Amino acid sequence: MINKTFSKCDMCDIVRTFNIDIPNYTSMDKSMLSMKLWDELCCIESIEPELEVYCIYTIEELKQYLTHRNPSKILTVKEKSKVMSFCKEVIVYCNNGYSIDMSIFTSYEEIDIQLRDIAVHGDIPSVRRAIRLFNEDIKTIKNIVPVISNRVNRELEVKKKKKVKQYYGLIQKSGHYTVSFD
């Protein structure tokens, strides 16, 4: 049976991604879609491997993936609200000129340690923003890198490509470039 942490949207995405034949799956409610999807998975012998988002090769791996907790929803509502409120405080700290006196924090290390702990939740936009702003502080010795899932990473890349603007035949591209003069 499919784990309850998977939303209807998640299951619809799995049906689309793996080309599972379920007619009118978008009009079904979550419980009905869950039953139909599981029945269909029991009848299917093989699927095409999907390497970009799910990294699933076989039907057994897909069944195992669906029976366990949804990896993108590892926080409860209460835990997520704590993470969000901490991120808001870090953003306030950063926007106030990186001043400890103008924040609720007692030391720079307190922020650093807690941000390193919540960096595993990099799929949450507020976590990414708080880490990005914190890394811009001149007191930061070692940058924090948020852990982002393949799905969110792909969505961010698509958004970045959409933001590329063209001006009179000139194409603007972002990235790291080295310019040297002889």
Asked if 40 and 21 touch (Cβ cutoff 8 Å), the reply is: yes
User: What is the mean predicted confidence (pLDDT) over 93-121?
Assistant: 91
SS3 content of the chain, % helix, strand, coil (to 5): 55, 5, 45
In sequence order, the β-bridge partners of residue 170 are 167
Q: Is the pLDDT of residue 52 over 90?
A: no
The average confidence (pLDDT) of the chain is: 87
User: Can you give the pLDDT at residue 156?
Assistant: 87
Q: Would residue 171 count as lying in a domain?
A: no
Q: Would residue 18 count as lying in a domain?
A: yes
Q: Is the pLDDT of residue 51 over 90?
A: no
Q: Would residue 122 count as lying in a domain?
A: yes
**159 and 83, same structural domain?**
yes
**63 and 128, same structural domain?**
no
User: What is the mean predicted confidence (pLDDT) over 117-131?
Assistant: 92
Let me know if 42 is exposed, middle or buried by CB neighbors in 10 A (0-12, 13-18, 19+): exposed
> Which domain does 29 fall in, by range?
8-67
d(CA 102, CA 139): 16
Tell me phi and psi for residue 161, to 5 degrees: -65, -35
Asked if 119 and 127 touch (Cβ cutoff 8 Å), the reply is: yes
User: Can you give the pLDDT at residue 180?
Assistant: 86
CA torsion, ordered 29, 31, 34, 40, to nearest 10 deg: -80
Q: Is the pLDDT of residue 73 over 80?
A: no
**82 and 106, same structural domain?**
yes
d(CA 163, CA 11): 29
Q: Is the pLDDT of residue 53 over 90?
A: no
User: What is the mean predicted confidence (pLDDT) over 81-93?
Assistant: 94
Lowest mean pLDDT among 59-68, 88-97, 167-176: 167-176
**84 and 56, same structural domain?**
no
Q: Is the pLDDT of residue 182 over 80?
A: no
Q: Would residue 32 count as lying in a domain?
A: yes
Percent pLDDT > 90 in the chain is: 41
User: What is the mean predicted confidence (pLDDT) over 21-30?
Assistant: 91
Looking at the structure of the chain, the number of domains it has is 2
